Amino acid sequence: MLFPTLAFGIFFLFVYFTSWSLDRENGRRKVFLLLASWFFYAQWDWRFVGLLILSSVLNWGVAALIARNDNATQRKWLVALGVLVNLLILGFFKYYGFFIEQMADLLTRVGWERDLPLLQVVLPVGISFFTFQGISYVVDVHRRTTAPANSLLDVMLLMSFFPQLVAGPIIRASDLLPQFAKSPRLTREAATLGLLLIVWGLFKKTVVASELSVNLVDPVFFDPSAYGAFDIAAAVYGYAVQIYCDFSAYSDMAIGTGLLLGYSFPRNFDQPYRASSMQQFWRRWHISLSSWLRDYLYVPLGGGKRGLWSSSLNVMITMLLGGLWHGAAWTFVAWGALHGGVQVIERLGRAAFGGRKVIPTVVGVLVTFHIVCLGWILFRAETFELAWAMLEGLGRMGPLAVTTPFMLGLIVIGLGMHWLPPRAAEGLAVRLKAAPSLTLGLLVGAAFLLVEAMRPDGVAPFIYFQF
Amino acid sequence: MADRPDDPNDPIDPFPTDFPEPPPSRFPPVGEEAASIAGVAADPVDPPSDWNAGADAHDLPLGTKRPGRWKALGQLAFPPPPPADEEVLAARDRRWTSRVILIVAAFMLIFNGASIQNWARQQAPNWFTVTVQQVADVWMTQVSQLGADKPRQGIRETYQDAREARFPGQGPA
């Protein structure tokens, strides 16, 4: 069940009215939201609801044992066990095929060819998100930065809550568990912001991302040799806009849906193409993942405490694993290596110039954006050959085939969003919250109608569902 | 001298002039007294007649504005309620949000009925989807007679024109 569908709209209306009718009974409300979340998840594959429940029970149990234990050594073993179990679940479903294939290749090269047990493992949607959530919960309880949940119900709802279940943001226990502890409160401002984010997300996904994907990006990435430099450049810029509009749209709609149900999620995107350095880009892009990688990977590796070279190595390891998190393929690892390598160069540069600013902001923004676009070629191409064909095509002149004024307009709109006031939706919500319900209802309805009239029939799954 | 032993010594004054302070009336006259009862501070005493001889406009006293006579009477009859508590405010905001959502849903049902039709046509045929499709067809016929499908069609046609635009010399897609 995708957000921008009629089925989800009907599902949400039912959840909204039923959950608020239970607002005086927080426990029952949470049970209802949990059942609704399982129903939502079962629309992809009902068998994986069991995996979700198993994962929740494991994380709740390990965290409860950690919280009840005062022995530091035992606590360490327990947290290691919790992290390991989560990684095993993720590793089996997401990386089993990848590692077996690599192992078979390696054995063939050294002359020990063997028939390895290849399995067609179906990837449960959103597994990367809910396992990372589980790891953060167990580690936070171990670090005593989060109190253990009051009940198994809270942990289950934390890991299954449908707005953020399949593609994030990766919401930590410290953000959501305190909100589960009491009956939520819905304010006019939160509701207005929620509606605005849903409309805005719908526009980004169904109009901008879908059009660019179907009519520009997919044809060019399918066969770059059939297109000239302008089409290939437009497809690369188009993909930069598409992936931003696709993923940030999901986050916006998730945050908006959460707000209408009375829960607030942290921001996941902050105009990332305005970044003037790669380090800044990762403070603006998929913030919940980058902060997760910082707190649970970079810092445990030693962070920046042991000097420049050690911190550079840690950044590189973090970004390589971050790349692998996105998908079980070497192109994703190369994408992570590019981002990590540029961040290392930036660190060395800052150290060499004593932290002085030597590159003007405009130049920094342009250079960073183009390095990010280069990374998107690796991210989008299924093989290195295809990525190389895209790069080669940038030097080949040819007539414009798929780049139309409309496509260019969408790219300009997608990039122009980054130069809107940074908190435009929040500011608009503050102004509109005083409007009568009829006025706001008609305004939001007209905005929905505008988007619905423009969108193509049908909707493609969100890009980040595969991760 | 008293005629009877129980007669008071002092004769009763038929027209007494020394009264104790009467209790405050529950129904004071409308005006200044009403304003003070309603919780509005009374103006300070009148300034002397030459009070504005050397005064600057910015120095004028900013006494609390007195409510009008009728408003004061209204406040007396129907005192303003105490501020609503959190629960009342929360319920009010929830009702407001629910109204907005229902208005949006009704708006979409009227002006975007084609989406339901499209959705029903894309589903595998079964009792439910065929029923939805039939209902959607009837609904669309009705709303199109009222012209409610025109805004969507108009936007879509303009949008399609924009999509099909090409650079000079560029072939069709």
Q: What is the crossing angle of helices A188-202 and A229-260, to 10°?
A: 150
Q: Pick the residue of B97, B121, B123, B166 with the most A CBs within 10 A to test the interface with A by mutation.
A: B97
Residue A285 has pLDDT above 50, yes or no: yes
Categorise residue A125: left if φ over 0, alpha if ψ from -120 to 50, beta otherwise.
beta
Check whether B16 has a pLDDT greater than 60.
no
CB–CB of A404 and B159 under 8 A? no
Q: What percent of chain B has pLDDT over 70?
A: 61
Q: List Cβ neighbours of B144 (8 Å cut-off, separation of 6 or more).
A: none
* Token pair recorded at residue A148: 């253990």
pLDDT at B12 over 80: no
Q: Could you give the C-alpha distances from A288 to A184, A344, B134, in angstroms and in order?
A: 23, 22, 45
* CB-CB neighbors (< 8 A) of B165 in chain A: 404-406
Residues of A marked active site are found at: 326
Does residue A162 carry a pLDDT above 70? yes
Instruction: Inspect the interface and report whether the beta carbons of B165 and A191 lie closer than 8 Å.
Output: no
Q: What are the tokens at A166? A: 């399949």
Could you say which DSSP state residue A144 is in?
Answer: T
Q: Which of B87, B88, B89, B96 is best to mutate for the A interface (most A CBs within 10 A)?
A: B96
pLDDT cut 90: percent of chain A above it = 48
Q: What share of chain A is helix, strand, coil (3-state, %, to 5)?
A: 75, 0, 25
Average pLDDT of span A405-417: 93
**For the segment B109-139, what is each residue's pLDDT rounded down to a tens digit?**
999 988 888 888 888 888 888 888 889 889 9
Q: For residue range A58-78, what is the model confidence (pLDDT) as tens digits?
A: 999 999 999 988 888 999 999
The answer on pLDDT for A415 being more than 50 is yes
Residue with tokens 């509606």: A195
Interface test with B, best of A24, A29, A187 (most B CBs within 10 A): A187
Of A187, A437, A449, the CB nearest to B151: A449
* Among candidates B94, B111, B153 on the partner chain, residue whose Cβ is nearest the Cβ of A186: B94
- Chain A residues with a Cβ under 8 Å from any Cβ in chain B: 5-7, 13, 16-17, 20, 23, 185-188, 191, 195, 211, 215, 260, 399-402, 404-406, 409, 437-438, 440-442, 444-446, 448-450, 452-454, 457-458
**Higher local confidence (pLDDT), B156 or A459:** B156
Within 8 A by CB and 6+ apart from A15, the residues are A32, A33, A36, A261
DSSP code of residue A272:
G
pLDDT by residue (tens digit) across A433-445?
889 999 999 999 9
Span A266-295, mean pLDDT?
91
pLDDT at B100 over 70: yes
Q: What is the pLDDT of residue B2?
A: 44
Q: What is the pLDDT of residues B27-59, one digit of tens each?
A: 655 555 545 554 555 555 565 555 555 555 565
B88 interface with A at CB cutoff 8 Å: no
Angle at A102 (CA atoms; ends A101, A106), nearest 5 degrees: 120
CA–CA separation, A213 and A460 (whole Å): 9
Domain ranges of chain B: 86-164
Burial class (CB in 10 A: 0-12, 13-18, 19+), A377: buried
B160/A contact by beta carbon, under 8 A: no
Say yes or no for a CB contact (<8 Å) between B94 and A445.
Answer: no
Mean pLDDT to the nearest integer, B135-162: 90
Give the model's pLDDT for residue B19: 53
Residues 6 or more apart whose Cβ sits within 8 Å of residue A307 = none
Q: What's the whole-model pTM score?
A: 0.80
